[in-house]
Amino acid sequence: MALQEIFGHIDAHLDDSLETLSEFCKIPSISAEKRAQPEAAAFVRKVLGEIGIEAREFPTEGGPNVVFGEYRAGSDRPTLLFYNHYDVQPVDP
């Protein structure tokens, strides 16, 4: 896929992407308070599923679940790893 096609795809789906981000930001997944972490993990898993990535949750000892998604594009394709967190820090230091 050419870079021009990628930017075209981003532009064509910008409103939907912003709506999804807005929904996600409404989940108060504050790590220090252990708030809404299951809801945030479920949201991430759902969004990955909607774009064709099979995702699972793995429990951790004393922390939020790890959401793991995998899409196999083929053995002749490069491997891409994307790592992120879905919790936030509280407003008050």
Q: What six digits make up the tokens of 8?
A: 């075209």
In a domain, 76, yes or no: no
In a domain, 44, yes or no: yes
Handedness of CA 38, 40, 41, 42 (dihedral sign): positive
DSSP letter (8 states) at residue 31:
G
Which domain range does residue 53 map to? 3-70
With beta carbons less than 8 A apart as the criterion, state whether 27 and 43 touch.
yes
DSSP letter (8 states) at residue 64:
P
What pLDDT, on a 0 to 100 scale, did the predictor assign at position 93? 66
- pLDDT single digits (tens) 48-75: 999 999 999 999 998 889 999 998 888 9
As a whole number, mean pLDDT of residues 32-53 equals 93
Query: Quick one: how far is CA 84 from the chain centroid?
Result: 7
Using DSSP's 3-state secondary structure scheme, residue 68 falls into strand
In a domain, 45, yes or no: yes
In a domain, 24, yes or no: yes
Residue type (1 letter), 63? G
In a domain, 75, yes or no: no
Q: How much is the mean pLDDT over the chain? A: 91
Domain tally, the chain: 1
DSSP letter (8 states) at residue 32:
G
Confidence of residue 4 (pLDDT cuts 50, 70, 90): very high
**How far is it, in rounded angstroms, from Cα 72 to Cα 42?**
22
In a domain, 66, yes or no: yes
Would you say the pTM of this structure is higher than 0.85? no
In a domain, 83, yes or no: no
